[in-house]
A and B are shown apart, each in its own frame.
Chain A
Amino acid sequence: MTASETLVATGNRAHSHGPGSPVPLQARNERPTSYDVADFAVPNGREEEWRFTPVKALKALFADEAGTETPKIDASGPDGVVFETVAADSLKVGKPQDRSAAVAWNHAAEALAVRIPVEAELIEPVHVNVASLGARGFSHLIVDAGRHSRATVIIDHTGAGELGSNVEIVAGDGAELRVVSIQQADHESIHLAQHDALVGRDAKLHHVVVTLGGKVVRIATNVRYAGPGGDAELLGVYFAESGQHHENRLFVDHEATHCKSNVLYKGALAGDNARSVWIGDVLIRAAAEGTDTFELNRNLVLTDGARADSVPNLEIETGEIEGAGHASATGRFDDEQLFYLQARGIPEDAARRLVVSGFFNDIIGKIGVPEVAEHLHEVIEEKLARAAELSASAKAVIGQ
């Protein structure tokens, strides 16, 4: 038997590497993006960007069809802010990086643009409420802060249903923009979103993602810089309970010089099949000298059966940087802290809650919007009370 006969006999490779062996992507920015839904196959869960996500539950948001409803969007804000309805592709700061974002991009009838005029300083926050009405819908928001403006925009997602959304954010040169996106739709709802932010020269962007409700919530945040001196602070808080999947994916693409990024995400998990995923990609390109970046993710697992995945990835193509690093930790809260509090006469239940509030306190403080901070404290308390009931009933069962 010759070598070539063997090849045929075992149904072998036609060439040296065998069929279907493309070269792996070598940097994060090589991952394809497109406005065309057809450029993305329907995910089957084996793809790198979907392998943590329960894709079976997301079929409705992968189908290339118009929504069955339009989410109800209410916007209000202080004097000076301008609301406009524009075409979805009028800005194009964002570009879909996966199937669901492309579907949302093409089927959101129009986009709501929130414009902060040049040099306007808004003391009170702008509120945008996106309410899903129980069916499948898409939304598209644009937050455009003019140069040297200051503003806070709170986007609140409520209701029930399946929502695919795109959010495009521009912080003009020298602007300071705070965008808070809250996901608190009901426990059966699904929300897939892509946020794309462009940070101008010497601008400062605070981007906050707060995920509290929803069965599957996946927010992908991408940040780019339009000029040197930009600063992005990316914060996230999530609390997944039984049956909830909270996923955050970040990509900070440093291409301009002397820019900063600081990522801090903290999450807690309680209950069976509570699940969180955090992927933080940072790319420092060869041209981005003087970059300073740090990423941190902390997960607190409160009960059995919960799972937290945490993957910080760092790609650096130049040595001329200020600093780069990341850290991630997952664990149960410190029993010693619990012991310390109990030794001082605080009942276990209250001590546990204190420890968890302590865990979240620093990040809640950084959000910088009192009404959001207050709301978060309340919801976390509620969730903790539920978790305590769970473990109490579990103990009771064991006790019998």
Chain B
Amino acid sequence: MTQTAHPELEGLGNYQYGWADSDAAGAVAQRGLSEDVVRGISTLKNEPEWMLDLRLKGLKLFDRKPMPSWGADLSGIDFDNIKYFVRSTEKQATSWEELPPDIKNTYDKLGIPEAEKQRLVAGVAAQYESEVVYHQIREDLEAQGVIFLDTDTGLKEHPELFKEYFGSVIPVGDNKFASLNTAVWSGGSFIYVPKGVKVDIPLQAYFRINTENMGQFERTLIIVDEDAYVHYVEGCTAPIYKSDSLHSAVVEIIVKKGARCRYTTIQNWSNNVYNLVTKRATCEAGATMEWIDGNIGSKVTMKYPAVYLMGEHAKGETLSVAFAGEGQHQDAGSKMVHNAPYTSSSIVSKSVARGGGRTSYRGLVEVAPGSHHSKSTVRCDALLVDTISRSDTYPYVDVREDDVAMGHEATVSKVSDDQLFYLMSRGMAEDEAMAMIVRGFIEPIARELPMEYALELNRLIELQMEGAVG
């Protein structure tokens, strides 16, 4: 690694489609999905009976449900050629030093130890091969009663919370991929923030896919109790492989009265990953949910973080940025469901397509009868930097209440020659100028990110823009 001001970012720049550790995963599960696989996963994890039943129900519903009749082309997924569970050979480590060298090496490239050193992250739950191997919570968090565990451990230690909340926001039969996740989920984060506790540093987790053709089906459950606050940060990276792999996560968040939760994610899966994720939060009265969603990598992403506004004065917000390069389709957006009076929501989406990539904004704002005085605004901006890329906007609004204010606006523009000329006449190279314009375009979202993530996002944009001109 060369000497730079931000060595951790150097690592991020290089990992783009870099390395793959040797396939040392322990009990390599068979390819394809069957009842045996599901039972096997449950047995390996020593799960309670009710979880196994839920998994089997998920399997049944997955088989029965059709593929979505809208959205991206998913015909490239071969469900029969995916490993649904891969167990890491190592047990959960309690400190950084205990991690095996190749895993440590991977994380070095991801920049985790640096982040840790800077104490910018509160705890790191790094997911490696479907199972969390490294997990640390700072002691003061524990003292406050905050629970931050991987989901498997969470289920073991807090079964009562799981029985109450698991699958309560996203039911097992919500959609084909949520059913699949329920059947084979493994790993993910579990967070519980007690009443009134404000976690003032972001909690962070890294996920990685690292076995060819393995699916990553993490399951995250976050409960923010009354008047509490938490910011959870999730990042995804994956090295490139020969054939297509599948990532299908489910994230459930419960934001109780007056609480606030912010969920930040930037996915940078390699360009052969199908990223089909269901993310949903419920907000009680006066609660706020904020999704900050960056989609840079993957072959196909279909992801629409949702907020169900269930109590008066609840508020939902999504900031979404998508970048599609060659061969990529980012079908992202957001869903806001107003189910109570005086609720408000806002969606801001920015997308950039280049090199024949395709970005689609797909959103839904629903106002149920009785949700009077609700407000919603949706704003989508798309930037096209060449003539072969594609940008779509599919907003949907369903208003069943008269006393609401609803707005949607979208613009699609290209990088103008004037802008380029201006910057180049000041001595910038064309691709530098282009990257600067793109960074300026997404700036309103980048500035909402934690500092190290904003830097990472900018670096990723630069990488994506390399060779965009000429």
**Interface of A with B (CB < 8 Å)?**
1-3, 6-7, 9-13, 16-24, 26, 48, 286, 289, 301-321, 323-332
Contacts and interface: CB of A to CB of B under 8 A. Distances in A.
Contact of B78 (A12, A16, A286, A321): A16
Interface in B372-394: 382, 384-394
Contact of B70 (A24, A315, A318, A319): A24
14 contacts: A1-B36, A3-B37, A10-B60, A17-B67, A19-B66, A22-B69, A23-B73, A24-B72, A301-B399, A316-B390, A318-B388, A326-B393, A326-B408, A327-B408
Contacts of B386: 319
Contacts of A10: 35, 59-60, 63
Given A3-B36, A327-B408, 6 more contacts: A2-B36, A21-B67, A319-B353, A319-B389, A321-B384, A325-B412
B384 A318 contact: yes
B395 A316 contact: no
Q: Which of B65, B69, B382 has the most CB of A within 10 A?
A: B69
A275 B285 CA distance: 30
Contacts of B399: 301, 307-309, 330
Contacts of A327: 407-410
Nearest to B37: A3
A24 B394 contact: no
Interface string B414-434: 110000000000000000000
Nearest to A303: B402
Given A6-B36, A321-B414, A327-B410, A312 B63 contact: no
B404 A331 contact: yes
B62 to A, nearest CB: 9
A16 B409 contact: no
B171 interface: no
Contacts of B63: 10-13, 18
B61 to A, nearest CB: 11
A232 B419 CA distance: 30
B391 A311 contact: no
Contact of A328 (B385, B397, B412): B397
B73 A311 contact: no
A268 to B, nearest CB: 11
B21 interface: no
A74 B92 CA distance: 84
Interface of B: 30, 32-37, 59-60, 63-75, 77-81, 353, 382, 384-400, 402-415
Nearest to A7: B34
Contacts of B72: 24
B360 to A, nearest CB: 9
A297 to B, nearest CB: 9
A330 B397 contact: yes
B412 A3 contact: no
| A-B interface, 7 closest residue pairs, ranked by CB to CB distance from nearest | A319-B384, A21-B67, A3-B34, A301-B402, A314-B393, A325-B411, A324-B412
Contacts of A22: 69
Contacts of B413: 323-324
Given A3-B36, A24-B68, A316 B391 contact: yes
- Most chain B C-beta atoms within 10 Å of own C-beta, residue among A2, A19, A329: A329
Contact of A6 (B34, B79, B406, B415): B34
Nearest to A302: B402
Given A24-B70, A308-B399, A318-B387, A16 B410 contact: no
A319 B410 contact: no
B65 A307 contact: no
A314 B392 contact: yes
Given A24-B68, A286-B387, A309 B398 contact: yes
B67 A18 contact: yes
Most buried by A among B353, B390, B405, B415: B390
Given A1-B36, A24-B69, A319 B385 contact: yes
B183 to A, nearest CB: 12
Given A16-B79, A23-B73, A311 B65 contact: no
Nearest to B384: A319
B56 to A, nearest CB: 10
A80 to B, nearest CB: 42
A320 B403 contact: no
A321 B416 CA distance: 10
Given A3-B34, A18-B66, A24-B68, A320 B387 contact: yes
Nearest to B39: A1
Contacts of B389: 319
B77 A330 contact: no
Contact of A312 (B385, B403, B410): B410
Nearest to B391: A316
A332 B372 CA distance: 11
Nearest to A283: B392
A315 B36 contact: no
Contacts of A325: 409-412
Given A309-B397, A313-B392, A327-B407, A319 B36 contact: no
Contact of B77 (A17, A289, A324): A17
A315 B387 CA distance: 14
Contacts of B398: 309
A332 B402 contact: yes
Given A24-B72, A329-B406, A311 B396 contact: yes
B402 A316 contact: no
Nearest to B81: A16
A121 B34 CA distance: 73
Given A12-B63, A313-B393, A329 B408 contact: yes
